[in-house]
């Protein structure tokens, strides 16, 4: 009865207002958004025992993970968000298995500047979270491609973080803090070498001291690593550095090899934060690049790791990796995995060696898996009854609160048909969540009365500004249509189109992903699904086709601007 009354209310609102809302323009009302994962691996490999769990722990596009602990059993994890808003999700766990998003670090416009005009893969790169026990403060330091390096801080990671503190003297990307036992602090980051780069991808890792009292760096910016751990081989893109002090020794860990199949993690050791650092002879300490391409359930691109020690003394690593279909393509982006750390006889940490596979099923003794885990095949539903969006939802570049409302028509997400296209580097009326499975089902109910032929609303599948699918409702004359469009770099293509008889005020839309292709459906009567388009190429939304650093997202979209 609750849902029937909501639909009746929607119809009355649109009939009385002629499709206009409080924005003064046409708007679409979205309700009952659902997402259900259906991946084969999880169905075919059920977990056994309460202490077993799946990795990735954060499936879908959660790239560049960084982790820290306060030493009292709390673990916090952050990942990259590029040009999506809010920036840098914060996850909390007490056991490294059960995770919950508790907030976002960058949730105010003052913290995310110069995002308009940036490509979707610009913006926020590789956030690093650290805890300083000397002042009981958490720090998140990162790169905004459009504004340089900065950090924010807080004493409650689930609460508000400070406005950005700029670091114009720290160049390059991927900075991270290291807080030593003696109270001294340092920033390490990827940067240019002292000399002119010898080849594309020739980078260096630098370090500089940091004054916690004044929030400023001081002293020389010293190069710790030039090129990589085997400079004679001309390694590329050493980046994402982290420093640790373990058993009296300093370890410098970095990614190497770029973000593709050659990605890896390497380690060096020294007696002082300022060097000299000597690489381990068995580097890399994590990679999947030498494995057979035809292996089942391949995991690729493993690297960009961060280490954490548990309260019990164990060491674990979080890192990014991909799960391509048949080792060809994936739409999920770089995901957050976890793996236990091993130790060599000569005292170096490592995660894989030789033909070691990154595991997708792990166990942690003494830990019980909860029902609300972030991994495996799960189902989520949003009826938009809350006054604010859930933490999983994102917009592009800015909050977009002038484009949507959850309170003007209670129980619905109201999206303005904005004069902004999803192909522009602006903020469209698009509310997105990550695709987290190769195979999934996603649906929503839309109440929509277009004002004219320019208005369109529905579900948008978005990889970047030039790789999208739009399952939409619109009209020509007085006739409503449901259509599927493919948005591209140049001309857009209508792939399917059907008339909607009777101009109903509420229509259900559904996307079924089969991994390598999508099927698109609509229903005028609830539960009576009709096929609109079948076997639409999913590779179009993949990194293999589009490039970039993000995975694909899906969600409600409304516009009155032709792409």
Known catalytic residue at 294: no
Q: How many CB atoms lie within 10 A of CB 120?
A: 22
Task: For residues 397 and 429, give the distance between their C-alpha atoms in angstroms, rounded to a whole number.
Answer: 11
Q: With contact defined as beta carbons under 8 Å apart, do 81 and 63 qualify?
A: no
At 480, is the secondary structure helix, strand, or coil?
strand
DSSP conformation letters of 296-351: SS--EEEEEEEEEE-TTS-EEEEEEEE--BTTTB-SS-SEEEEEE-EE-TTS-EES
DSSP conformation letters of 409-450: TTTSEEEE-BS--TTSSS--EE-BEE---SEEEEEEEEEE--
Task: For residues 547 and 463, give the distance between their C-alpha atoms in angstroms, rounded to a whole number.
Answer: 9
Q: With contact defined as beta carbons under 8 Å apart, do 469 and 480 qualify?
A: no
Known catalytic residue at 535: no
Q: How many CB atoms lie within 10 A of CB 466?
A: 16
Q: Which among 44, 232, 233, 365 is annotated as catalytic? A: 233
Task: For residues 9 and 353, give the distance between their C-alpha atoms in angstroms, rounded to a whole number.
Answer: 61
Beta bridge partners of 165: 151
User: Which one, of 204, 293, 296, lies nearest residue 254 by Cα?
Assistant: 204
Q: Which among 21, 31, 39, 64 is annotated as catalytic? A: 64
Active site residues: 64, 233
């Amino acid at each position: 009865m609750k849902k029937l009354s909501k639909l009746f209310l929607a119809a009355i609102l649109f009939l009385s207002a002629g499709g206009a809302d409080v924005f003064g323009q046409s708007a679409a009302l979205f309700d009952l958004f659902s997402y259900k994962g259906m991946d084969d691996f999880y169905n075919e490999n059920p977990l056994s025992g309460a202490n077993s769990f799946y990795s990735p722990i954060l499936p879908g596009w959660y790239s560049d993970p960084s982790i820290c602990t306060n030493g009292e059993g709390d673990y916090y994890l952050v990942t990259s968000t590029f040009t999506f808003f809010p920036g840098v999700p914060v996850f909390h766990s007490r056991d490294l298995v059960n995770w919950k998003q508790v907030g976002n670090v960058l949730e105010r416009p003052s913290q995310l500047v110069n995002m308009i005009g940036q490509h979707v893969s610009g913006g926020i790169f590789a956030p690093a979270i650290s805890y300083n026990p000397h002042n009981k403060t958490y720090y998140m330091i990162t790169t905004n491609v459009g504004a340089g390096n900065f950090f924010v801080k807080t004493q409650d990671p689930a609460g508000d973080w400070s406005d950005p503190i700029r670091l114009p003297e720290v160049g390059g990307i991927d900075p991270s803090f290291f807080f030593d036992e003696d109270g001294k602090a340092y920033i390490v980051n990827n940067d240019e070498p002292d000399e002119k780069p010898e080849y594309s991808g020739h980078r260096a890792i630098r370090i500089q001291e940091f004054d916690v009292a004044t929030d400023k760096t001081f002293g020389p910016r010293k190069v710790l690593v030039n090129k990589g751990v085997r400079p004679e081989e001309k390694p590329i893109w050493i980046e994402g550095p982290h420093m640790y002090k373990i058993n009296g020794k300093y370890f410098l860990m970095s990614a190497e090899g770029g973000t593709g199949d050659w990605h890896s993690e390497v380690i060096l050791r020294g007696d002082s934060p300022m060097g000299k650092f000597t690489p381990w002879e068995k580097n890399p300490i994590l990679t999947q690049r030498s494995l057979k391409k035809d292996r089942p359930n391949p995991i690729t691109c493993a690297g960009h790791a961060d280490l954490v020690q548990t309260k019990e003394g164990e060491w674990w690593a979080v890192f990014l990796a991909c799960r391509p279909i048949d080792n060809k393509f994936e739409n999920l982006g770089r995901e957050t995995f976890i793996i236990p750390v091993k130790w060599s006889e000569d005292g170096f940490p490592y995660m894989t060696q030789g033909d070691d596979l990154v595991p997708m099923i792990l166990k942690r003794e003494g830990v019980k898996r909860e029902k609300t885990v972030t991994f495996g095949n799960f189902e989520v539903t949003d009826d938009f009854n809350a006054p604010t969006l859930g933490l999983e939802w994102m917009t592009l570049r800015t909050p977009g609160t002038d484009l949507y409302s959850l309170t003007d028509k209670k129980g619905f997400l109201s999206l303005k048909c904005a004069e902004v296209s999803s192909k522009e580097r602006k903020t469209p009326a698009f509310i997105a969540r990550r695709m987290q499975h190769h195979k999934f089902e996603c649906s929503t109910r839309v109440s929509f009365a277009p004002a004219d032929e320019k208005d369109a609303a529905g579900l948008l599948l978005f990889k970047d500004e030039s790789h999208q699918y739009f399952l939409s409702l619109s009209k020509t004359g007085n006739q409503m249509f449901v259509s599927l469009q493919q948005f591209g770099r140049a001309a857009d293509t209508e792939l399917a189109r059907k008339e909607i008889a009777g101009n109903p005020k509420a229509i259900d839309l559904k996307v079924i992903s089969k991994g390598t292709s999508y099927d698109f459906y609509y229903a005028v009567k609830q539960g009576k699904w009709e096929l609109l388009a079948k076997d639409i190429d999913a590779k179009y939304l993949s990194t293999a086709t589009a490039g970039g650093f993000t995975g694909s997202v899906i969600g409600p979209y409304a516009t009155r601007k032709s792409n």
